[in-house]
Every structure is written in structure tokens, then in C-alpha cells.
A and B are shown apart, each in its own frame.
Chain A
Amino acid sequence: MTSDPDSLLPSDEPIRLIDHQGRPTGRAGTDLPDQDALLKAYGALVTARRLNDQANALVRQGRLAVYPSSHGQEACQIAAAHVLGDGDWLFPTYRDTAAAVARGVDPVEVLVLLKGDWHSGYDPYQARVAPQATPLATQLLHAVGVAHAARLRGEPTVVMALCGDGATSEGDFHEALNFAGVFRAPVVFFVQNNQYAISVPLARQTAAPSIAHKAVGYGMPGERVDGNDVAALLTVLGEAVARARSGEGPQLVEAHTYRVQPHTNADDASRYRGEDEVAAWIERDPITRLETYLRGEGLLTDERAAACAADAEEVAAHVRDGLNQDLVPRPDDLFDFVYAARTPQLDEQAARLADEIAREGEK
């Protein structure tokens, strides 16, 4: 237990290093990330936005069942992935497709879930990305377990666990932060506060001064950051990861951002929020902000921007090609992954289904 609760409290205002107009804030004591990191983030942001647009289009074409877009939250997505090392883990939610892709997972494999070909399409061990979580906050406890296992073996692994503002109301959010605090597990809990849990605004989720303030109750530091400022996110999350890696325990980081698009394509956001509010947040777009800054500093040339756009197009084309492949479902898949080996009962049921299909074929 820490003796100084004040040291755990977040800053008075969300940390911002580049302002809405793309100018450095000159915040005392905090340096901007280096130019390479910002240019790398810019490219990834452009790809993430293109991925969101492409996935939305694929829903309209009926190639995806649904897509929870991270449009407007791309800075959070990219920063969460870019601050991690190869041996670290990312625990994404259903809205964090872009983060998983930024960590190196093939977007076609990530979208398998929403295409309906399987529940999860990628190997979690390959890029160390857990399956996207659809239930809320349950994955935060898994993140603590992965981190604790690494710590018991003396490995320097850090786990980045993502959730949204709505998930902070779940019991598992509390239990995960509490366990992480007690075990000093190397986990960064990163909450993308996008203001809404489907239709319910933050004020109906919590009466706390901020989500970041909740950290003090678990004996870990809480920090809040402008979620549309990728420079601030890289810095704050990077420090949290370094702190966790050095054995100082978990941290809670809250990003203030906005879900510019509806919850999913099946949602009607006009029933619970006004266009003015959305328009104001579009003004604070994370990509425009970084681009303005980089161009102002002479760091981003037209050629470089065009190359980033071309890379993003390539990813979009890959996604289109992949999603246009039709899966022929193999009935045995239903039975093969329930246990390490099929039970006699599953053998019987698989045989019955195979027989049914064979007889269907004879008709």
C-alpha cells in the first residue's frame, strides 16, 4: 500500500503535447516523442483510418456482419500498439481492430470474427495479441494473469489491456485493477473514454471525478491524456509501460476521445446525441492534428504523405481481397476445437452430421 495517495492522482487536465491547432503545447517537463516515432505513428494513423473506412464499406456490401468503428480514436489505437515491445502482450476489445493490426496481426485474420468465419481468426501467440474481447472487462483479468505468469518466471513482459468507459462499471474492471495492484502485475490498463457506452453517456457510468481517479483506490497511479493527441499518448503510455517493466507495478491511463461514428452500423446515434457535439469532435481529429504539426515542423513532405496514403490503400486492397474469399465451412471444425481430443459423444455427433450431409448430397 502506498503512503502517499496524492502521488497516485492524475493531472488536473488531460496531458496534451500538441494542441487542437497542431501546435506544440510546450508542456513543462514533458518532451515530444522523437521524429521517427511521430512519422511512424502518422503512417499507422492513415492506415487505421483507411481500415475503418474499408470495414464500414464491407458492412454495406454485406461482406462483414457488423463493424464497431474506431474512427476518431485512431490515435489511441496506434499508441497502444506502438509503445509495446515484441515480448509484450496486447488485450484488445471488439473496437480495437486497428490496434491489433498496428501490432502486426493480418487485418483479414482480425476481421474473421465479424465476417462470421470463426470467433477469432488469428493465432494469439504470434503477435502476442489476445482474442478480441466481446464481453466487457473480462479480458482485463486475463491480462493480469498473463502478466503475473511472466513475472513469476522473471520475464520482462508488459501487458497493455484495453477497455472503454462503459467497461469501467463492470465488476471485472474492479477485480482486475485490484488484483493487479495487490500482485504488482506489470499491466497498463488503458481506458479509451469515448464518452458513450452505446447510447449511455459517461455521467451515467460513474460519479467519480474522472476514470483515472479510480486508480487511487487500487494503489496505482492514474493519468489522463488527450486521446486525440498521439504524441501525448505515446509519451504517457510509453512511460507507463517503462514503469511496469521496471517492476513498479500497474497503471491506469484514461484517454479522452470520442466515438465519431455510431456504436456499430446497427446503431442509430441520432437518438442519443446531437450533430453539434459530433461536429465539434470531428474538428479535433487526431490525424489532421498530427499532420498539421508535422508539416509545420517540416517533418512531413508531400511525398511522404503520398507514400503513407499508398500504403494504406494497399492494406485496404488486401482487406477487400481477403474478405471477398468465401469460406466453405468444414463441419468437423464444429467438433474439433471443443477439447484437445474429441469425446466419444462428439465423435457420435460429428458422424451423425456427416451422415446427414452425405444423404443431403445424394438428393
Chain B
Amino acid sequence: MTLEKLTMAQALNRALRDALADDPSVLVFGEDVGALGGVFRITDGLTAEFGTDRCFDTPLAESGIMGLAVGLAMNGMRPVVEMQFDAFAYPAFEQIVSHVAKFRNRTRGRVGLPIVIRVPYAGGIGGVEHHCDSSESYYAHTPGLHVLAPANAADAYGLLREAIASPDPVVFLEPKKLYWSKENVDLTRSVPGIGTAAVVREGTDATLIAYGPSVPTALEAAEVAAGEGRSLQVVDVRSIVPFDDATVCAAVRGTGRAVVVAEAAGFASVASEIAARVTERCFHYMAAPVRRVTGFDIPYPPPKFEHFHLPSVDRILDAVDDLQWEDA
């Protein structure tokens, strides 16, 4: 075991470096990922170490980046592209939905595209407009894509390595506000893979289900609740697609109560999908309907307003209080 103190940004950088070193078909490209090392420095030092053939800047055009990745993947490469910010990925949407996601299906399995689309995503960093979107529902709703959202440095490393090795395209959502959180990580230890959720805090009274930037908030809520005598379990979804019904439902059956926490607007969201799946599969075990704590159904607000919008510890605990304890 080799414990290191790493931020999520450093763990991601290490994952890219190790993948580039292990497999000559891995290519890293996007906007400002070369000399600058990316606006979040996730690609820091990669061009210097591996050269401009392996890690390179492209013209400033997201559809172009994604379409280039499709062709490279068709012809034997493993592209790992960076969309600079969540909302700046939208020009690439047609390429992602119509080509990246469908190529294997269109060709009856003959052409799979091992592409990783890294997206610094979600809010909580005081970003101005178009820099804080939680865009996971668009991708999760598109068959053919895997969608991952790590919530800690160890998962960021392990899941990104697995995403790069995957034969299928992966949308890899990196919670911006967690980039700089430091933790002790053992990169030599393998983490549960794509399609696996994890119980990150045991509890007996209710289950909080969260992913990406909402996991630390859910853990904090559970800590506060423990002080108030209530035992909350926390499940980190990790892999939005494929979704780990087994782990999530086993957890909810154990406690009989569930709250889903996510930053994205709640209407037609991943949180809604999780609430529906849990209800369909766990109804007879449940003492109360599933509650959702999500962002409001509004465009992401300006920095001075974001604390109203984002799921908070108090809002999560209020939702837990609403889970019909009086009937128990």
C-alpha cells in the first residue's frame, strides 16, 4: 500500500499520464490542454512528457474535437477529449448523440468507439454563466453512452483508467468543486468498476443516494444527522450509466427510506430516474415515498445566488425529516 496525499485534479492527471504511458493508442486532446495543461490543469505536463502527437491542442471547435475523436477511434486510437466546461460541450452534442453513441449500433457491433469525453461539470465554484451546468441527464438519456461521475480522488483515478480501457464511449463528469479537495489515496488499489455503486457510509434509518459533487454534501448531512440521533446511510452512485440497481436497491430495502440528492434541475432528471427505479423495485420495503433534493428548475443562477440553488445539508435533513417518521 502506498498512500499519497492527492487532489482529485492530481489523481485525474495521474490517470491520464499512466494511460498514455501504458497504451500508445491513447491520445489526449482538446482546447488549451497542451502547453497550458488545461484550464483546470488536469493535463498538466502531458505534452511535455509525451509530445504533441499524443497530447495536443485543437482548433477551438467542440463539434470538430468530437468528430475528430470518432474518426480516430474508428481507426484504432483511444481518444480522451476534454470539453473545457459543461456548457461548452453543447456544440458537440450532435456528434455525441448521433455518432459517438450510435456507431456500434449502426454498424451491428462492427465499429465500437473507445472514446472518453471528459467534462468538468456542475457548480459550487462561483462560476459565471455557462460554466456550471449539470448536464448528466442529456447524456444519461442517450443509449450507447456510459456516464460516470466520481466523487473522490481514488474513484477519479480508478474510474478514468477504466473508462479509457473501455470498448464503449464514456462521458466522464468531473465535479469542478471537488478538483482541489485533498485526500489520502492509494492508487495501486483497484476501485469498484463501471456499473458499480458504493455504500460510502453505513446507516440504518434512511438512505441518501448521491453522485459527483453531491456526495460530500450527503456525507456531511449524515454526520450532522448522527449528532441528532439519526443514522443515515450514504450511497455514492459513481456510475450513472450503467446504473447499479442491485446495490442501490439493497441499500434502500435495508433502511426503508430514501432521499436522492443531485445538483441538476429536478424535472426529468437522473434524480427522478433513480427515484422511479427505487420505487418500482423497493415499494414493499418502504415506509415513505422517495424524496428528491435537487436544483430548482431554473437556468444555473449567478454566483451570488448559487447557495440558494444547490442542495445543502439543511435541505437534505429537511427532506429526511419529511419521510413520515410519525407513522413508524
A: residues with CB less than 8 A from B are: 118-120, 123-125, 130-131, 135, 138, 140-150, 152-153, 171-172, 175-176, 178-179, 182, 333, 336-340, 343-345
Contacts and interface: CB of A to CB of B under 8 A. Distances in A.
A143 B143 contact: no
Interface of A is mostly: helix
A152 B59 contact: no
| Contact residues on B (Cβ < 8 Å of other chain), bracket | 35 or more
A46 to B, nearest CB: 30
B75 to A, nearest CB: 4
A171 B167 CA distance: 29
A147 B168 CA distance: 21
A309 B42 CA distance: 62
B80 to A, nearest CB: 14
Contacts, number: 129
Contacts of B73: 145
B192 interface: no
Given A339-B104, A340-B167, A343-B195, A141 B63 contact: yes
Contacts of A182: 58-59
A150 B74 CA distance: 11
Contacts of B102: 119
Interface in B66-117: 66-77, 79, 91, 94-95, 98-99, 102-112
Contact of A119 (B59, B105, B195): B105
A343 B112 CA distance: 16
A175 B67 contact: yes
B33 to A, nearest CB: 15
Contacts of B98: 135, 138
Given A149-B76, A152-B53, A182-B59, A123 B110 contact: yes
Contacts of B144: 338-339
Interface of B: 27, 53, 58-59, 61, 63-64, 66-77, 79, 91, 94-95, 98-99, 102-112, 143-144, 146, 166-168, 195, 241-243, 245-246
Contacts of A171: 63, 91
A175 B64 contact: yes
A143 B68 CA distance: 8
Contacts of A343: 195, 241-242
A142 B242 contact: no
Nearest to A333: B108
B75 A150 contact: yes
B71 A124 contact: no
Given A138-B67, A179-B64, A339-B146, 7 more contacts: A142-B67, A149-B76, A175-B59, A175-B63, A179-B68, A337-B108, A338-B105
Contacts of B168: 339-340
Contacts of B242: 343-345
A123 B66 CA distance: 23
A135 B99 CA distance: 10
Closest 6 CB pairs of A and B: A145-B71, A141-B67, A175-B64, A149-B75, A343-B242, A142-B71
B108 A147 contact: no
A179 B195 CA distance: 35
Contacts of B95: 138, 141, 172
A176 B68 CA distance: 8
Contacts of A179: 58-59, 61, 64, 68
